Amino acid sequence: MPIAQAIDDLTTLLGERVSLSKPDLEAHGASESYFPNTPPQAVTYPRTSEEVRRIVEICARESVPVIGWGAGTSLEGHGQALQGGVSVDFRLMNKVLEIRPADMDVTVQPGVTREALNEELRATGLFFPVDPGANASLGGMTMTRASGTTTVRYGSMRDNVLGMEVVLADGRMIRTGTRARKSAAGYDLTALMVGSEGTLGLATELTLRLHGVPEAISAGICAFPDMGAATACVMETIQMGIPMARIEFACGQTARAFNAYAGTDMAEAPHLMVEFHGSPESTAQDAERFAEIVADHGGSAFRWSGREEERRALWSMRHNGYYAILASRPGARGVVTDICVPISRLAEAVEATQADIATSGIPGPILGHVGDGNFHAILLVDPDQPAEQQTAKDLAARMAKRALQLGGTCTGEHGVGYGKLPFMAAEHGQGWQVMGAIKRALDPQNIMNPGKLVPGN
Amino acid sequence: MPIAQAIDDLTTLLGERVSLSKPDLEAHGASESYFPNTPPQAVTYPRTSEEVRRIVEICARESVPVIGWGAGTSLEGHGQALQGGVSVDFRLMNKVLEIRPADMDVTVQPGVTREALNEELRATGLFFPVDPGANASLGGMTMTRASGTTTVRYGSMRDNVLGMEVVLADGRMIRTGTRARKSAAGYDLTALMVGSEGTLGLATELTLRLHGVPEAISAGICAFPDMGAATACVMETIQMGIPMARIEFACGQTARAFNAYAGTDMAEAPHLMVEFHGSPESTAQDAERFAEIVADHGGSAFRWSGREEERRALWSMRHNGYYAILASRPGARGVVTDICVPISRLAEAVEATQADIATSGIPGPILGHVGDGNFHAILLVDPDQPAEQQTAKDLAARMAKRALQLGGTCTGEHGVGYGKLPFMAAEHGQGWQVMGAIKRALDPQNIMNPGKLVPGN
């Protein structure tokens, strides 16, 4: 058996850092979403890039699948072992290798989480801004092209990964990018790897762009009489050129879930949560200008603050949004949608989604990064009721189709994994076949995270 | 002869928009740099995406090379027909197809130049910021991953192309990206195509990100006693977080060339040219803070102005830098270097370059986008003296090697073409072979701009 031979060789290489225990295998076959458990046959815990390289080499020789694993916070089943194989868990590769304040960049191992990195950067006056909510690993964030609450200001992983060290499917190791801020030296392999979901190789080192911690931050929250007023406020804020660092939407159902989960007393109405970065003067001015726009759209008084503890409470509530929503229907699993549309079509997209959910009979609170045109409906399904799951999947499919019709994408930030595979042909047409051709060129045995992202895989 | 058959079929398709005239062929075999003329066998002037698709289809059937041509401002021989074939000149595909102010994006045909686009955008309050100096076509800028004076603030083409329509080597047409501001839906084919130099396909439509015209702009210039003082000033400005829209360096020799070409009276010393975008208050404040840093580094009084005509004169001078430098040695051709290094290594890179040029005996004025760590030495060689050309090439090779040693790239913005091919193996290692594998997967006949960018091509 190729897998038996691979496990023997991996054990020679890694000793006790190869695990075959049932709980460990199941933990690496699980997801935070609605997918069934699909465990790998072994879990490995490498400590170095060279160990990762040798793991891939062994698996390549035996034609055994290799699946990367970060913090397990993916929502589209990225880390699941659909065809068995070897899970490569990066938790021991959690070192910040070099911080370079003068160049405002940092090199890390992929197992470092975004919170751990920011903790380590605390004394430097710099921070890493990409913030998907969960305390994901930076390797996982890179490979899923994560974004989140601050993308409207600082960009996504696409904009903040300068270069990578990658182990390819044949065990070769390459470096993509340089530490220069820009380059025109050939195909942008960094951009190709960011968002490739481990289907082209495993990242073993990342060089990330850092940003200066703003001198001042103001943040606040306000309620709106209806959805349309809230999205109109977002559009006008963007068009006025007010530089938001975050602008997040939560629907009335989400507000109710926050109240139950976090003990808050939000009105059960659509809300915007907003943050401004700059100087004390500019952030106060931005908040005042925003408050005027809110008032023009019939919103509640915009309560804002420059105090850190109040901001922390606000964003902690937002970051727990997924869990708060899950808790609002005990025992439910979430079918998470993630569409992103041009900002001019946002109101239309949200309204049509809400109407669709309302007629489905399934709870589907909405929240999202509306400054980017990206929002999520969390469709809460009873895992024991297949009919509900089907209804949710049908709803999600209609949302994805609607996003494409509006010039958008079926996934703004969660990635394809295997949950979004059914929409790839419609979104990319022949472009999806091009992705498949690239995959076959770099991984002809199809051992890198098979069953994800590309066609016929 | 396959080419004869291709020309017949192209003539059936395009009529008089196929040119076989010698001047036309030579114009499409020329470059703005030191490369010998290598004309194609035919030049085509398509008007529509579908015509481009059929051109590629005809050439694919006959295995004839296809080379895209924009405004001919490339500096690395990108448009030259090294193996003959058919040049596809996009000048008739020069329509701005749709401006969407609410989404701050625009869709254009690739033959639109950046100046023409900004002219068309004038009434909208929006502009397209990427500014390589030359009035290049947006298709050419996309395919070379151009950047320039404003990249320090607005990014390069990598950051400002949202999506493309591309004709592939087999005549298939794909759309990359969507109009959503972000997406995690699979491999980033847009980023793969940006900077691919026509070796994977021809862009027939571009969707570009626009930015709001700033309410106020201030710009100015100042001189420094030496190079080290100027680069130290750049580094401190970046570290203070002063938001520059442009920060350009010109050495003393370049200042002399400006004086001779534009009738200015600059001191023959290193200069910085700087621009700030924002509100009247913020741009005045930025200019004042910058002036203090300049004074701390022994610079001359920082003369700045918010008046448009003064700014125009300043940037017109800068944009003509290449031509001013060429004119400083009549009859000379330029071997243009384009290294980009981490900002912390900028002073070291410029000083080592200047010392190297000084001992070579060849004039080599320096100018560049120092906020990105990117600068150019224009090595002026007599085209009739092969020994000088060799000296310049050796110099350029040492500069590229030095950039790599400092963690940088051999080309910050000009691209590879065939001028930078000799440095690709050193910069990318096995990564260059990965580029080759991608190329072969998408263009197995190697008809798309052969001889450029990838190995063994």
Q: What would the two tokens of residue B317 be?
A: 């001078």
- Those residues with Cβ within 8 angstroms of residue A212's Cβ, 6 or more apart along the chain or in another chain: A104, A125, A126, A127, B241
- B342 to chain A: closest CA residue: A180
Torsion of CA B354, B359, B364, B370, to 10 degrees: -10
Rg (CA), chain A: 22
Q: How far apart are CA B453 and CA B79, in angstroms?
A: 12
Interface of A with B in 383-442 (CB under 8 A): 403-404, 407-416, 420, 423-424, 427-432, 434-435, 437-438, 440-442
Which residues of chain A have a CB within 8 Å of the CB of B404?
Answer: 178
Assess whether B102 and B168 both reside in one domain: yes
Residue A391, in any domain of the structure: yes
H helices present in B297-345, as ranges: 308-319, 321-327
Same domain, B148 and B242: no
Burial B348-372 (b: 16+ CB within 10 A, else e): ebbebbbebbeebebbbbbbbbbbb
Please report, for the domain that includes residue A395, its CATH number: 3.30.70.2740
Q: Give the pLDDT score at A254.
A: 96
Rg (chain B; Cα; Å): 22
Residue-wise pLDDT tens digits, A48-106: 999 999 999 999 999 999 999 999 999 999 999 999 999 999 999 999 999 999 999 99
Q: Which of A24, A56, A89 is the last residue of a domain?
A: A89
Q: Does A102 touch chain B (CB under 8 A)?
A: yes
Q: How far apart are CA B11 and CA B296, in angstroms?
A: 66
Q: Are residues B237 and B170 in the same domain?
A: no
In a domain, A56, yes or no: yes
- If we measure between CA atoms, which residue out of B370, B214, B377, B233 comes closest to residue B294? B233
Look at chain A and report how many structural domains it folds into: 4
**What pLDDT sits at residue B175?**
98
- For residue B45, the distance in angstroms to the closest alpha carbon of chain A comes to 26
CATH number of the domain bearing residue A103: 3.30.465.10
Under 8 Å CB pairs connecting chains A and B tally to: 254
Residue B10 is predicted with a pLDDT of 98
β-strand partners of B113: B137
| Per-residue pLDDT, A457 | 60
Chain A touched by B188 (CB under 8 Å): yes
pLDDT of A97 reads 98
Compute the distance between CA of residue B145 and CA of residue B412 in angstroms, rounded to an integer. 9
Judging contacts by C-beta atoms under 8 Å, the chain A residues touching residue B146 are 184
Task: Give residue B301's pLDDT.
Answer: 85
Q: Which of A197, A212, A227 is the last residue of a domain?
A: A212
Asked, for residue A449, whether it belongs to a domain, the answer is no
Mutate to test the interface with B, among A178, A404, A448 (most CBs of B within 10 A): A178
Query: B358 near B377, Cβ under 8 Å?
Result: no
Domain around B311: 216-322
- pLDDT value of residue B457: 60
Are B438 and A441 in contact by the 8 Å Cβ rule? The answer is: yes
Backbone angles phi, psi at B122, to 5 degrees: -50, -40
Distant-in-sequence, close-in-space partners of A308: CB < 8 Å, separation ≥ 6: A217
CATH number at residue B312: 3.30.70.3450
Which of residues A71, A89, A107 is at a domain's end?
A89
Kindly state whether residue B288 falls inside one of the protein's structural domains: yes
Together in a domain, A102 and A194 = yes
Alpha helices in B73-122 (DSSP H): 114-121
Across the interface, of B144, B180, B409, the residue whose CB is closest to A408 is: B180
Q: Within chain B, which residues score under 50 in pLDDT?
A: none
B/e letters for A402-433, b = 16+ CB within 10 Å, e = fewer, are bbbebbbbbbbbbbbbbbbbebbeebbeebbb
Q: Position A245: which residue type?
A: A
CATH number for the domain spanning B40: value is 3.30.43.10
Residue whose tokens read 């080192």 = A205
Question: How far is residue B110's CA from residue B143's CA, in Å, rounded to a whole number?
Answer: 10
Nearest by Cα to A198 from A437, A451, A26, A420: A451
Cα separation, B352 vs A250, in Å, equals 56
Residues B144 and B185 in one domain: yes
A388 neighbors B157 (Cβ within 8 angstroms): no
Chain A contact present for B174, CB below 8 A: yes
CA B213-B73-B206 angle, to 5 degrees, is 50
Same-domain check for residues A122 and A83: no
Q: How many CB atoms lie within 10 A of CB B119?
A: 11
Note whether B409 contacts A341, CB cutoff 8 Å.
no
Q: B252 and B291 in one domain? A: yes
Is A8 a residue whose pLDDT tops 80? yes
- Interface check A5 vs B, CB under 8 A: no
- State the best of B124, B181, B410 to mutate against chain A, taking most chain A CBs within 10 Å: B181
Contacts of B249 (CB under 8 A, 6+ apart): B230, B231, B234, B270, B271, B272, B350, B366, B367, B368, B369, B370, B375
Contact present, A379 and A267 (Cβ < 8 Å): no
In a domain, residue A450? The reply is: no
If you average pLDDT over residues A389-414, what whole number do you get? 96
Tally of residues, chain A: 457
A99, A187, A439, A443: best to mutate for the B interface, most B CBs within 10 A: A187
User: In the predicted model, what is the mean pLDDT of residues A373-386?
Assistant: 94
The tally of CA atoms less than 13 A away on the side-chain side of residue B140 is 31
User: B443 lies in a domain?
Assistant: no
Cβ(B335)–Cβ(B76) below 8 Å: no
Which residues in A lie closer than 8 A to residue B145 (C-beta atoms)?
183-184, 188
- Per residue in B380-426, pLDDT (tens digit) is 999 899 999 999 999 999 999 999 999 999 999 999 999 999 999 99
Examine the domain organization and report whether A398 and A318 are in the same domain: no
A14 with A40, same domain: the answer is yes
Same domain, B182 and B136: yes
pLDDT value at A431 more than 80 = yes
Using CB atoms, which residue from A158, A420, A438 is nearest to B185?
A420
Domain annotation covers residue B57: yes
Token match 């989604």: residue? Answer: A353
The answer to whether residues B242 and B311 belong to one domain is: yes
Answer yes or no: do A454 and B185 touch at CB < 8 A.
no
Residue B86, strand partner residues:
B42, B66
Chain B environment of A427 (Cβ under 8 Å):
178, 185
ipTM rounded to 2 decimals: 0.96
Closest CA to A339 of A391, A395, A386: A395
Look at residues B217, B210, B216 and name the one whose alpha carbon lies nearest to residue B126. Answer: B210
Chosen for mutation from B183, B406, B423 (greatest number of chain A CBs closer than 10 Å) is B183
> In angstroms, rounded to a whole number, what is the distance separating the alpha carbons of residues A25 and B445?
45
Chain B residue numbers with beta carbons less than 8 Å from the beta carbon of A185 are 409-411, 415-416, 420, 423-424, 427-428
Query: What would the DSSP string read from start to end of B412-423?
Result: SSS--TTTSGGG
Residue A456 domain-assigned (yes or no): no
Residues A234 and A280 in one domain: yes
Helix, strand or coil, per DSSP, at residue A422: helix
- Closest residue on chain A to B102 (Cα): A344
At B428, the amino acid letter reads: H
